[in-house]
Structure 1
Amino acid sequence: MNQQTIPRFWLALLGAPLVASAADQGLLEGSTATLQARNYYFSRDYSDIVGANRQSKAEEWGQGFILTFKSGYTQGPVGVGIDALGTLGLKLDSSPDRVNTGLLPVTDDGRAADDYSRLGLTFKAKVSRTELKVGELQPNLPVLAFSDIRLLPPSYQGVSISSSEISGLTVQAGHLKTTSLRNEAGDEKMIAMLGHVPQRQADSDAFNYLGGDYSFNSSRTSVSLWHGQLKDIYAQDFIGFKHSQPMGDWVLGANLGYYDASEDGSEMLGKIDNQAFFSLLSAKRGGHTFYVGYQAMYGDSAFPRVFANVTPLGNEVPTYEFAYTDERSWQARYDYDFAAMGVPGLTTTVRYITGDNVNTGAGFEGKDRERDLDIGYAFQNGFLSGLGVRVRNVMARSNYRSDIDENRLILSYTWKLL
């Protein structure tokens, strides 16, 4: 693992704005910079261990800092600029018998590292409404969703292009060569997950994507078409549809999607055959939002994705994915925004998902279920204004994978520097 020391990290961090200020003055126009402090406690108890890993509990506490700098563009027909992403993670509590939460790196002696840090630069150029980026990237796509669900966000290294020349249409393409995982400082080749199982026996040095989203009907309706390829492992196509429809005091919503995946190139993981359909319907009135979702896996394989990402599947959550071979799952969810009762900043989510029909390969039908409770509060005024607190409690049960009791406590505060 290519870790940087804390002094080197902060020296590089302080030097990044100096590079921008020495360039054309247009670079500073429209520039933004934020620093987020994120305090993260994560605990998972495995009450019924299934699989090779016999660790009964993962529990760690960390402090993270995320600096985001985005420059403006030089003047002229072709504008150029530079972005910077700096991250620093510090260990507050861990032990060898409680590692692997995804918050902190694990060293060769089985202990969590005291700190890890990274500075990534992105060079960008813009013509009209078309933008080219080279360097540190954080794409958020149906075939490669941005999964900022631990202490520090992941990133990728490569090149991307995005164009919005046609009103309502955004087209994107990219070639990614490596990734910096959520709990690592260096660059790694990418591996796949099938369902919930990381496939560490094969890695790839290229993820390629091409796709677009088109919104119309006053932006109430959108359609998406995407292709992603984890070179020599799998290729995946996606088609999606979203719609929002006001009806009196209610707003009805629909989010539908279909994935089709197969093996790619030299087939380093062998044959892959997965088709996935999801639907998530919603109804919102005042502070209340009700959801119901259905998700189905078809084919001979579990749903493939790049490790360790979650996906936009309707019934996938950060604990269980409900995306194993042949799985069918249903979701019921209720959100409430207490701003409707005069308490802005306070939100809650309760969700229940149940799945069955899983082809476990062990001669029995797999079943799983999960209950989630999330409570969040963002302080609106006073000296704590801008502080966000989120509590998450999960109970997940299965007859073919480990049961999980999970708790998370996340505090975050963001300073606007520019």
Structure 2
Amino acid sequence: MQVMKWSVIALAVAAGTSQMAVASSQSESNGFIEDSSFNIFNRVLYMNRDFRNGPNTAGTGDKGYREETGLGIRLLYESGFTQGTVGVGFDAHSLSSIKIDSGRGRYGTGQFAQTGDGRGDDTQTEVGGAVKLRISDTVLKYGSQFVASPVFSTDDSRILPEVATGTYLVSNEIEGLELSAGRFTAMSSQTATGRDTLSEGGNTIKSANIFGANYSFTDNLSAGLHHSDVEDFFKKTYVNVNYNLPLAEDQALNFDLNGYKTKGDGQELAGDVDNKIWSLAAAYSLGAHTFTVAHQRASGDNGYYYGVDGGGTIWLANSVQYSDFNQEDEKSWQARYDINMASYGVPGLSFMTRYIRGTAADSYTERELDIEAKYVIQEGAAKDLSFRIRNAFYRDNAQGDVNDFRLIVEYPLSVL
């Protein structure tokens, strides 16, 4: 494996050297101001969770029911790059949350920080920025940023996202090949306004180092290999293979394989983590319809562990609305159906439903049924305004039953 890694790097260097005359992103830069953008992203999230078996024992002191509504406003500025061999730029963001509805008896959906009297905080604001450099098709960014790596992924499942602080390098010098590397030392949660050191269970760590490569062999076949070292917690490796098989003009088969191997390292602050987990999904698309089946399986001494490396670091088929189906030795199956109503004269309207059943150690079983509908306005003053309903019915034979309902309204505005 080490030989392959060095071969890929050597190939990238050689290609970059031999293709200096080929136009790159930096050579086509129009300037710092000319290529800049400013966007406002608004999200309203109404969310309730009904713990049908009585009060949840997780520690919030609620009566078995949580219900909150919040508004998230994101101001996102991205500059262009200065012209020349080395381009310089700057990104900045402001993230604000506004509590619309909450209460001591209903707090705990993960949208707001908690006040001293047990209520959701009325308002929160976080600002941050990052400097960036670009040479050819390679970008180096340092500062506060959103990250989407399979081994370090900031979560965006509430009104505001997590934000990581660190250095991230992404290189696309060879067509079809993307190389990435990063070092992150802090992260703000979805309910916090400041950047704290990466932590889990009261333990802080010094760094999370990540490396990755994605390569598109053809238009229909791609693969990825990523690795992370979260100091004193674990080392994690991720693999992915995605293959699309066109069958006819409006038919195709898609196969998506994802897998993680996680092993405790250093002080093992998360415990003796030793887990392998993988999922394989097969999707058949026929015009407006998509039919998917997926299988996911975990093995090792415990379940798949994530969170300190970002709340979105679980790129698996059966990580769904409420459950991840990632318990120790768990095996789960999914059946899913999607329909895009554009083919029936209603562009912007789509539906999805899926059912997942998992069995794990000690006769543990869990089931989840998800039903979703989404509509995006296609034109006019409210173009791109979207409405999304997500409804999950979760049942298990150990921890209790949960109904999870979410109404999400999003409105992106491009100012510049």
Is the structural similarity TM-score above 0.5?
Answer: yes
Q: For residues 281-320 of structure 1, give each alpha carbon's deviation from its aligned partner in whole angstroms, at most 9, with x where no partner exists.
A: 1011111011100000000011011256131111001311
2:53 is equivalent to residue 43 of structure 1: no
The one-letter amino acid paired with 2:49 is R
2:259 corresponds to: 258
Q: CA RMSD in A?
A: 1.6
The one-letter amino acid paired with 1:162 is V
Secondary structure in structure 1 of the residue aligned to 2:295: strand
The one-letter amino acid paired with 1:210 is F
Stretch of structure 1 that moved more, 286-295 or 205-214: 205-214
Distance 1:416 1:406 in 2: 32
Deviation of 1:323 (Å): 0.2
Q: How many residues align?
A: 382
The one-letter amino acid paired with 1:334 is Y
Distance 2:297 2:202 in 1: 27
Deviation of 1:52 (Å): 4.4
Of 336, 339, 355, which residue of structure 2 is paired with 1:336? 339
1:348 corresponds to: 351
Deviation of 1:190 (Å): 2.6
2:279 corresponds to: 278
Q: How does 1:17-416 map to 2 (within 5 A)?
A: 26-48=31-53, 51-53=57-59, 55=62, 56-192=64-200, 200-218=201-219, 220-248=220-248, 249-307=250-308, 309-310=311-312, 311-356=314-359, 358-359=360-361, 364-416=362-414
Q: For residues 34-69 of structure 1, give each alpha carbon's deviation from its aligned partner in whole angstroms, at most 9, with x where no partner exists.
A: 101111101011112564435312211011111111
Distance 1:352 1:43 in 2: 20
Distance 2:30 2:222 in 1: 38
Deviation of 1:382 (Å): 3.3
For the Cα contact (< 8 Å) 2:164–2:184, is it kept in 1?
Answer: yes
Change over 3 Å in CA distance of 1:243–1:25 after alignment to 2 = closer
The one-letter amino acid paired with 2:279 is F
Stretch of structure 1 that moved more, 378-387 or 125-134: 378-387
1:21 corresponds to: none
Deviation of 1:191 (Å): 3.7
5+ long unaligned stretches in structure 1: 1-23, 193-199
Distance 2:400 2:142 in 1: 40
For the Cα contact (< 8 Å) 2:260–2:276, is it kept in 1?
Answer: yes
Change over 3 Å in CA distance of 1:146–1:285 after alignment to 2 = farther
Distance 2:242 2:165 in 1: 30
Change over 3 Å in CA distance of 1:318–1:186 after alignment to 2 = farther
Distance 1:386 1:258 in 2: 34
Q: For residues 111-134 of structure 1, give each alpha carbon's deviation from its aligned partner in whole angstroms, at most 9, with x where no partner exists.
A: 111000111101000000111000
Secondary structure in structure 2 of the residue aligned to 1:385: coil
For the Cα contact (< 8 Å) 1:82–1:122, is it kept in 2?
Answer: yes
Change over 3 Å in CA distance of 1:51–1:296 after alignment to 2 = farther
The one-letter amino acid paired with 1:241 is V
Stretch of structure 1 that moved more, 84-93 or 136-145: 136-145
Secondary structure in structure 2 of the residue aligned to 1:107: coil
Change over 3 Å in CA distance of 1:400–1:28 after alignment to 2 = same
The one-letter amino acid paired with 1:115 is T
For the Cα contact (< 8 Å) 1:226–1:239, is it kept in 2?
Answer: yes
Deviation of 1:267 (Å): 1.4
Distance 1:327 1:114 in 2: 40
TM-score for the superposition, normalised by structure 1 = 0.88
Q: For residues 14-51 of structure 1, give each alpha carbon's deviation from its aligned partner in whole angstroms, at most 9, with x where no partner exists.
A: xxxxxxxxxx9921121111101111101011112564
Once the two structures are aligned, what percentage of the paired residues are identical? 33
Distance 1:309 1:328 in 2: 22
Secondary structure in structure 1 of the residue aligned to 2:279: strand
2:13 corresponds to: none
Secondary structure in structure 2 of the residue aligned to 1:340: helix
The one-letter amino acid paired with 2:77 is F
Distance 2:335 2:140 in 1: 41
Distance 1:267 1:160 in 2: 25
Distance 2:355 2:188 in 1: 32
